[in-house]
Amino acid sequence: MNVLVVDTGSASLHLRVLGPDDEVLAQADVGGADGPQTDRAWRDLAAGDLPISAVGHRLVHGGPRLSQPTVIDDKVRAELEGVAKLAPLHVPQALAALDEARTALPDVPHVACFDTAFHADLPEAARMYALPAEWRERYGLRRYGFHGLSYAWALGHAAELIGRPVDEIQVVLTHLGGGCSACAVREGRSVDTTMGFTPLEGLVMCRRSGSVDPGLLLWLQTEHGLDADEITQTLNRRSGLAGLSDISDDTRDLVRARVSGDAAAALALDVFTHYARRGIAAMAASLDRLDALVFTGEIGEDQPEVREEICAGLGVLGLSAGLIPGNPSGPAIVSGPDADVPVLVVPTGEVPQIAAEVRATLARL
């Protein structure tokens, strides 16, 4: 079965056709979910000689009812429209790509794969906000968690690296990329995570603020007249590393600027790694022991300085500085042989994870 994987970002669209052994048979990368380049990419895929048996769509948010990979029909499509506002940087663009794909390839099954599904069984204490029952029930307020496709892929490889079954290990996984989060996994199950109702909660990110005092936001509204749209745009697009440094949202740029003496770049990296350490330590509190710390995501796998600084400040968890420098070409242990807690790097694998979930879903029909 050849599976076309549609991975839509906030300003990009990545198309990959994976063969039965997850080899990439065709690919296209365009600047967004619509436009002339996108139309041409869909036409080329639909008209090509490469047979496509199914399409897998990455959806960041599935809302309260879509908590496992699901074959898309008109009813599911309407349900997804209802959760688009919970992840405004991602879901609207993903739905535009989904519509294009269903038009271009109407005769094959389309499957939605959700980042929230990995966290669907969070324990009640980790899932609940301390809000009145009336609010929780009327508005469906709960913590969902995200980056689940990345975590599912990283977890399997982490278990292989430390030579133990998935259902026997307790690890903290951290996805550091455009969005950033950490997750506690106990015996194959997500038991806590730093993101919540939306992908804005938790760690400092590239352009997203992560968690801020809700009282601060109320104060900006009541005392300074900032409206909801301005606050939304600022928290989602003008904060994080970009807002702290006023230079770049890319850690590579900031590491270089810090070496050149840029104080704002140094501060941005200090805040980023501080919040990452705080999140990792919080996740470890949901475990009985820490069998490994796992880094994935573009920053997690490609920025050794960030990994080093995070681990150097987590001696309380048995971690330490002195990681192997550079970036491994595949899943690898980057801590020394005498490390009390191994530190692992697993390259991001949402695309093959989606293909695997699509095949498993269709096999059950």
Got the DSSP string for 145-179?
A: ---HHHHHHHHHHHHHHHTS-GGG-EEEEEEESSS
Could you tell me the two tokens for 141? 């307020």
Q: For residues 193 and 123, what is the distance between their CA atoms, to the nearest angstrom?
A: 11
Could you tell me the two tokens for 200? 């804005």
Are 9 and 178 contacting, i.e. CB atoms less than 8 angstroms apart?
yes
Q: Cα 321 to chain center, whole Å?
A: 26
**DSSP assignment letter at 26:** E
CA quadruple 130, 133, 135, 137: dihedral positive or negative? positive
Could you tell me the two tokens for 128? 């609940």
Are 361 and 71 contacting, i.e. CB atoms less than 8 angstroms apart?
yes
- Give the up-direction half-sphere exposure of residue 236: CA atoms within 13 A in the CB hemisphere: 16
- Known active-site residue 7: no
Could you tell me the two tokens for 125? 């204490």
Q: For residues 340 and 363, what is the distance between their CA atoms, to the nearest angstrom?
A: 42
Q: For residues 77 and 84, what is the distance between their CA atoms, to the nearest angstrom?
A: 11
Are 152 and 99 contacting, i.e. CB atoms less than 8 angstroms apart?
no
Q: For residues 181 and 193, what is the distance between their CA atoms, to the nearest angstrom?
A: 7
Q: Using the structure block, give the residue that is written with the tokens 């760690």.
A: 203
63, 186, 217, 317 from 155: Cα distances, Å: 23, 11, 36, 20
Are 286 and 190 contacting, i.e. CB atoms less than 8 angstroms apart?
no
Q: Which of 115, 249, 291, 302 is catalytic?
A: 115
Q: Which residues are catalytic?
A: 115
